[in-house]
Structure 1
Amino acid sequence: MPALRRLARGFRGVSPSVVTELLADEVHEVRLIALILMVGEFDRASADGRAEWVQCYRDGIAAGRVNNWDLVDSSARQILGAWCLARGDDAELLDYARRESLWDRRVGIIGTHAYLWVGEASATLAVAPLVIDDRRDLIQKALGWMLREMGKRVSRESLTAYLDERAPELGRTALSYAVEHLPPEQRAHYRSLR
């Protein structure tokens, strides 16, 4: 990934149409470079420019081009999550989390990371019930990761309050990820609730 990021630095100022072409490529690493470029351009863009980049991202998701965990994880928070946070509306993340597609659902979950980065748990707590029953490994890992981040970036109390209520419903993988940074006795307690 560092080599791809270095390569992408040489293409600053690239247009959405070029990024769309790169995102359509069959080669995974080319699509990853496209998303790295998109994140950078989104960060540097004006409000109108950001709207164009978000639409470019949505189009890539709809076309099935954001179709691997690393593609989602390197872009969902930085683009769609940041967009929703700035607008004060997590409805689009909830919409993605409700879809059947593994990658769409993961975008909805990982997008909530933008909220967690600023100490806000509401989006993660809104998405969690939509995906809690999805036992696909990459959904479980994403949910557990965001819950762990909630404990780290918002408060440990927010995590334990959630686990007190919902730990029995979490899949083994999600629970394992969520409790990773808790003291051993708390980890054992929550695992015993399953």
Structure 2
Amino acid sequence: MVTSADVRHELARLADPGRAASVSRFLQMVPGGYGEGDRAIGVTVPDQRRVAGRYWRDLSLVETTELLTSGVHEERLTALFILVRKFAKGDEEERGRVYGTVLANTGSINNWDLVDSSAPYIVGPWLVDKDRSVLDRLAGSDLVWDRRIAVMATFAFIKAGDFQCTFRLADRLLHDPHDLLHKAVGWMLREVGNRDRAAEEEFLAPRYRTMPRTMLRYAIEKFEPRRRQEYLFGVV
């Protein structure tokens, strides 16, 4: 029987202390950083994906959950890669179990790479044709990562041509104090614009002068240079 210990052993074999120090700085696992208290062992993301590819079929959901609650960052991220595989390949019942596992363990999805590797591929797709009120609950959380999960989950709706949930959550989080939410909201608005520029600009028109500058820059990143300048100088 394959266990979480097997995955841990494989990741430990691939660990690089030098890379761990770099990862710790990049994901702010330092005193005062948003990732403070976490621990990296220095396994590259491609290596983690390869490990997930080898183990996702045989690792039970219980063992995957144990990996997801690890104190090692790469072990949690690998667990999420496994859950994404299980969700994508599973039937409706399996997908529901994976979604439930993610929602029950959002406290372990506590950095932007963990959120961005799971919310758009599990939470959003599960909710495409279901009640989405859970996203409002997450958006009202004191945890920045819950709020980012809510925003990033809407990527699945955007891909389906449904922008209203993104706009509603963007409005709610328009003046969130955290820079990582400014980036996430701006990114999702940009994705709307990639599919329907007029819809994005209609949302931006009454808001762009007061939204955080980082959010605006992310939202208009793909605009033509002259149009970007118009937004940045407030002359739209």
Matched residues, number: 190
Cα offset, 1:165, TM superposition? 1.7
For the pair 1:10 / 2:51, whether they are aligned, the reply is no
Moved over 6 A (4+): none
Q: Which residue of 2 aligns with 1:103?
A: 145
Equivalent-residue separation in structure 2 for 1:85 and 1:129 (angstroms): 20
Q: Which residue of 2 aligns with 1:66?
A: 109
Query: Structure 1 stretches of 5 or more lacking a match?
Result: none
**Residue pair 2:80, 2:118 contacting (<8 A) in 1 also:** yes
For the pair 1:162 / 2:203, whether they are aligned, the reply is yes
Q: 1:133 aligns with which of 171, 175, 184?
A: 175
Q: Tell me the SS of whatever aligns to 1:72.
A: helix
The more displaced of 17-26 and 93-102 is 93-102
Q: Which residue of 2 aligns with 1:176?
A: 217
Equivalent-residue separation in structure 2 for 1:115 and 1:42 (angstroms): 17
Cα offset, 1:175, TM superposition? 0.3
For the pair 1:143 / 2:179, whether they are aligned, the reply is no
TM-score normalised to the size of structure 2?
Answer: 0.78
Equivalent-residue separation in structure 2 for 1:44 and 1:82 (angstroms): 13
**Residue pair 1:84, 1:92 contacting (<8 A) in 2 also:** no
TM-score normalised to the size of structure 1?
Answer: 0.94
Q: Percent identity?
A: 37
Cα offset, 1:97, TM superposition? 1.2
Cα offset, 1:3, TM superposition? 1.7
Cα offset, 1:94, TM superposition? 2.1
Q: Which residue of 2 aligns with 1:186?
A: 227
For the pair 1:55 / 2:100, whether they are aligned, the reply is yes
Higher helix share: 1
Max Rg structure: 2
Q: Which residue of 2 aligns with 1:86?
A: 129
The more displaced of 142-151 and 39-48 is 39-48
